[in-house]
Amino acid sequence: MRIIEEEQLDFDDLMLMPQHSDINSRKEVCIERTFKWLGNDNLQHSFTCIPLMAANMIGIGAPAMAKVLVRNKCICTLEKHYSFEALDKLFFEVADFEKIDNVEEGTYRNLLFPTIGIKESFDVLKQLDEKWHINALVIDVPNAYIPKVVERVKEATQLFPHAFLVAGNIVTSERAYTLLEAGCQAVKVNIGAGSCCLTRKLTNCGRPQASAVIDCANAAHNLHKYIISDGGCKNEGHIVTAFALGADFVMTGSMFMGCDEMETETIERNGKKFKIAMGSSSKRAQDLVFGGMSSYRASEGREVLVPYKGPLINTLSSIFGGLRSAGSYIGAHYLKDFNKHANFYKVSRTLNNVFANCESIAK
Ligand code: 5GP
């Protein structure tokens, strides 16, 4: 048994120090970034985006969300269990948007990231790749410390040699090295930080997200590869913090929950509208996807009613606005440079919540 004494930090434990800035207007802060990688096909590949991602959760990693996200240059990781027909339809519609918006072919399509676990066959994604040439692929399991994930990454590098390959979830640099050296371009970081997650309650396993991001980003950047900070962002400021700590991409589920485009049921209670939200490991999600849960598993996900909050574009605008404004406070012209410019205070409180429980004037 070993106890690690080094303090472990969460997003709420940190606040960015305002400092000298030569940025006169937030408009001068560029929040797009180009990602480059050498594929297993020995060719250089790249794509450009605002590196904000929707989680591959039910209703969030879904076509209606994806269509708005990619047109706004963000990424949508797609829920695992879509059929070829459903994915094909989405790729087709997104390709149409590229024509309508007069952008280069692939600009939006490259931002659709299909997801797979470790049990499913690669057949559907192979078929999709043959038709659409998929840019990226996420291998996603709640616990990527199991040997099968490394095998899966190696298999995917053979089957999709050109693809931007993501694997997760992990929270330590040792495992980041293992997965990245097995051939993926990015690791997804989070165990237990998510809004719908019951893993910590049930197992007490995980790691505070800020420390996990710092540690994994060091490993990935040593190898000139990338990390995704996945989950745990409770507000726009946490997204800024994740980037400033070294995350190359930030993934969120909860920040997008309650939006119009969330593909789950809307219900009304006492005159107020809500959207149904559920963790991927919740009983409700398992019932929806597999028609029931295995008897040896406990539900490690919450099922909640999230207040309805209108169109996704409003949430995106406030995240983009927060990122640009943060760039001007810390003197960073490019999102890519947030980490270089960031100095943090370690704090015990970040928000003034005096009016947090008051009714908002906006409906
Ligand atoms: P959020 O942004 O909502 O805080 O976190 C989203 C992330 O939580 C997802 O991308 C995924 O990594 C994680 N997650 C989603 N559903 C579940 C679940 O049912 N159980 C656990 N342990 N994690 C979940």
197 labelled catalytic: yes
Question: Which listed residue (107, 115, 178, 199) is catalytic?
Answer: 199
Q: Please state the length of the chain.
A: 363
Mean pLDDT for the stretch of residues 18-22: 93
pLDDT given at position 248: 98
pLDDT given at position 286: 87
Which residue bears the tokens 């237990």?
A: 192
Are 307 and 273 in contact by the 8 Å Cβ rule? The answer is yes
Residue 300 in contact with ligand 1 by CB distance below 6 A? yes
Residue 254 in contact with ligand 1 by CB distance below 6 A? yes
Closest residue to atom 10 of ligand 1, CA basis: 55
pLDDT given at position 363: 61
* DSSP state at residue 17: P
Return the ligand 1 atom nearest residue 195 CA: 4
pLDDT given at position 80: 95
172 labelled catalytic: no
pLDDT tens digits for range 266-307: 999 999 999 999 999 998 998 888 777 676 777 788 999 999
Grouping H, G, I as helix, E, B as strand and the rest as coil, residue 184 is: coil
Residue 327 in contact with ligand 1 by CB distance below 6 A? no
Question: Which listed residue (49, 76, 197, 259) is catalytic?
Answer: 197
- By DSSP bridging, strand 344-346 and strand 14-16 are antiparallel
Residue 66 in contact with ligand 1 by CB distance below 6 A? no
Distance CA 197, CA 194 (A): 5
Structure tokens at 238: 């946490």
Distance CA 329, CA 321 (A): 12
Residue 190 in contact with ligand 1 by CB distance below 6 A? yes
Residue 137 in contact with ligand 1 by CB distance below 6 A? no
Closest CA to 208 of 240, 171, 238, 245: 171
**111 pLDDT band (50/70/90 cuts)?**
very high
Instruction: Report pTM.
Output: 0.97
Q: Which residue has the higher pLDDT, 296 or 8?
A: 8
**What is the rounded (10 degree) CA torsion for 76, 82, 86, 91?**
30
Residue 51 in contact with ligand 1 by CB distance below 6 A? no
- Which CA distances in Å does 66 have to 93, 98, 160, 241? 10, 14, 22, 24
DSSP 92-109: HHHHHHHHHTT--TTTTG
Closest residue to atom 6 of ligand 1, CA basis: 231
Mean pLDDT for the stretch of residues 156-167: 98
Are 223 and 180 in contact by the 8 Å Cβ rule? The answer is yes
Tell which one of 10, 52, 57 to mutate to probe ligand 1, the residue whose CB is within 8 A of the most ligand atoms. Answer: 57
Q: State yes or no: pLDDT of 17 exceeds 90.
A: yes
pLDDT tens digits for range 217-272: 999 999 999 999 999 999 999 999 999 999 999 999 999 999 999 999 999 999 99
> Cα dihedral sign for 210, 213, 219, 225?
negative
Closest CA to 248 of 280, 277, 223, 276: 223
**Helix runs in 274-337, H state only:** 283-290, 312-330
Mean pLDDT for the stretch of residues 184-197: 97
Tell which one of 145, 196, 239 to mutate to probe ligand 1, the residue whose CB is within 8 A of the most ligand atoms. Answer: 196
Long-range Cβ contact pairs of 213-216 (< 8 A, separation 24 or more): 213/189, 213/242, 213/245, 213/246, 213/247, 214/245, 214/246, 215/171, 215/172, 215/173, 215/176, 216/170, 216/171, 216/172, 216/173, 216/176, 216/187, 216/189
Distance CA 114, CA 116 (A): 7
Q: What contacts 8, CB < 8 A, 6 or more positions away?
A: 207, 208, 211
DSSP 328-346: HHHT-SBGGGHHHH--EEE
Closest residue to atom 13 of ligand 1, CA basis: 194
Ligand 1 centroid – CA 18 distance (Å): 31
**327 pLDDT band (50/70/90 cuts)?**
very high
Mean pLDDT for the stretch of residues 3-32: 95
Residue 230 in contact with ligand 1 by CB distance below 6 A? yes
